[in-house]
Structure 1
């Protein structure tokens, strides 16, 4: 392959390559909630949620160890993973915004084990953290899925190039 075969100009800067490539990679949107050591609710919007195994049911998410929610995730064993649909776009923005405002309001209740459960999500799953793998300044968190529930069906909420989007069904 020659440089003429490439669809776009190249760069030798790994950070630029990384950012530009992942801006073009759409991802589903989830929110992970927990409680910190004082019992304060914490949570964050995640686009790194992935299934790891069906038996036993394991999922992973990644987060920076400098994130405001990291101390809670580092200390607790219990989380709730919320899958967001199109109708949850404002919730995704709220949970990605200032930490002090994430739980202001009546959009959540105490869920199983007292972990914050967000209202109106497409699906939710309790999880027990079974491993935290530090990788540079981040961590891969492995969660064993427990109980959960599904909400009203909705199109997936996608995040792509710093915007929330809806999927387009191509099979119809």
Structure 2
């Protein structure tokens, strides 16, 4: 079954306007983490997280085609999606900053497959890297959740270009 529709006309708005409109949708904030074969940890901040299916348990997130970490996440079999708690905005900023080691001083524990889970996260999902779909200037990653946990900590929210919480 082909699910690709014919191309629509060119949009009547620019990228900046589109980005501002998207900013009106409040999202949670995640840090996606993984471990390389040499034991090195990698992680990145993403707000493009969503549930897909309960049976089987599937979630998705997306990554820009130009991201330096694209080969890491397309090549690894597993990753952990850490849903940041309201008091973890510093981690969102840290894992989105280039040129630093975001792991310095960060507390974590290892998943059953050896991938880092950030301590204090509101929830986490250990995923098998099930499939990837290139769309536009991003790749959509679909993960099959093998294990997950959550806490009563309220999540970190991103809206209008700023971090916030549900309170």
User: TM-score range with shorter-chain normalisation?
Assistant: 0.7 to 0.9
Match of 1:166 in 2: 165
Contact 2:85–2:120 (Cα < 8 Å) also in 1:
no
Q: Deviations over 1:12-39 (max 9, x none)?
A: 3331331120122211111110123443
Structure 1 residues 33-72: aligned runs within 5 Å = 33-72=33-72
State the secondary structure of the residue aligned to 1:101. coil
Q: What TM-score, normalized to structure 2?
A: 0.85
Which ranges in structure 1 are unaligned for 5 or more consecutive residues? 1-10
RMSD of Structure 2 on Structure 1 (CA): 1.8
* Structure 2: segments with no counterpart, 5+ residues: 1-10
For 2:13 and 2:148, locate their aligned partners in 1 and report how far apart those are by CA, in whole Å. Answer: 43
Q: Which has the larger radius of gyration?
A: 1
Match of 2:15 in 1: 15
Secondary structure, aligned partner of 2:12: coil
Kept in 2, the 8 Å contact 1:68–1:99? The answer is no
Q: 1:38 to 1:137 in 2, by over 3 A?
A: farther
Q: Greater share of helix residues, 1 or 2?
A: 1
Distance 1:29 1:155 in 2: 12
Q: Which residue of 1 aligns with 2:115?
A: 115
What's the offset of the Cα at 1:112?
2.2
Q: Residues 37 and 75 of structure 1 are in contact (CA less than 8 Å); yes or no, is this contact kept in structure 2?
A: no
